Amino acid sequence: MRFGSKISTTVGTQGITGIGGGGGNITINAGFILGVKGENSDIFASAFNTGANGGIISITTNGIYGLDFRPNLTSFSDITTYSQFGLNGTVNINTPGLDPSRGLTNLPVNLADPSKQVSQSCAIGGKLANRDNRFTISGKGGLPKSPTDELSSIHPLVELADLVPSSTNSIAGVEEKQEVKQEVPKRIVEANTLMRDSQGVLHLVAASNPLSPAIPQLSCP
């Protein structure tokens, strides 16, 4: 189907009000139906009268290409059973070359044995019981020690740690600063006396009580 070709049946005329009737029936048997989407080639059984319903389109083909099913006519290539005032009709497609069962997979009839899907590593009796199996619960929470005991909280309480008051550090720091301020610097005394050691060497020393000079002082007249 090319260049705006039509396969159609209608009742009434679009834009002119009529009464009654039906959209008619169209039956097509073709190997393939080909069209171009943008060329406005249509297959339709439409109704434009008041109370008239759309028709029935029956197509037997191996494939439809370039035409799409739409609820009403458009500027593209359409297949439709549109009714302006009533109910839309129906479109029946029969594809004899298509086998509906093709591609289906047969599911297994016998179901898996559930007893073979469960691990037997913790069996109570039998040969596997001699493997010294263990089940250990550790940490806070979990199951109680005895089945008669109550379950513990899901969110166990965490013991609070002892916090050291920050004021203690500040007080200690103030005390250290005060002790440093209370230290008295050593007094520096100027040398004011000459002393002779056992080797006869003279030393200039500072004495709180100046001694009599070991060397007589010379005075100028």
Name the residue with tokens 């159609």.
8
Contact predicate 123/139, CB 8 Å: no
Indicate if the pLDDT at residue 99 is higher than 80: no
Name the residue with tokens 């109704």.
47
List, in sequence order, every beta strand (DSSP E) within 40-149. Answer: 42-47, 56-60, 64-65, 68-69, 78-80, 90-94
Distance, CA of 59 to CA of 55 (rounded, Å): 13
Closest CA to 86 of 18, 6, 9: 18
More confident residue, 175 or 57: 57
| Per-residue pLDDT tens over the stretch 117-129 | 666 555 555 555 4
pTM of the model: 0.41
pLDDT for res 217: 47
Cα distances (angstroms) measured from residue 140 to each of 135, 137, 157: 16, 9, 9
What does the mean pLDDT of the chain come to?
73
Indicate if the pLDDT at residue 42 is higher than 70: yes
What are phi and psi for residue 123, nearest 5 degrees? -65, 145
Name the residue with tokens 């319903």.
53
More confident residue, 2 or 150: 2
